[in-house]
Amino acid sequence: MTALNFVYQNDVVSIAMDTLSLSPDTHKPRNFLTKFYPVPHLVGVICGTGVGKFIAEWAARVQTNMLVKSIPHLNEFTQQELRNLWPY
């Protein structure tokens, strides 16, 4: 389970998230990883749970391969782009 805590105020946002990753086979601790990525050019943050490599690849794709101007604009493309990234 992933824990995401945040405080949103007029002039600041504080985000805290756990970093524990579990093995999909044994459900025991496997490693630690980043689960959220700031995207300041979109005035937002990408947060994810599940497969760490997938989260990192999605954040990298948003940062380097997508011409979007805001989080709502990104949302218009997200569903199809996630399917392209993970076609299963």
pLDDT at residue 1 tops 80: no
Structure tokens at 25: 């086979």
Question: 83 near 55, Cβ under 8 Å?
Answer: no
In the prediction, which pLDDT does 78 show? Answer: 95
pLDDT digits (tens, 9 = 90+) for 10-30: 999 899 999 998 887 888 898
Q: What is the pLDDT of residue 32?
A: 92
pLDDT number for residue 88: 75
pLDDT tens for each residue of 26-46: 888 989 999 999 999 999 999
| Residue 39 in tokens | 């995207």
Residues 35-76 pLDDT 10s: 999 999 999 999 988 778 889 999 999 999 999 999 999 999
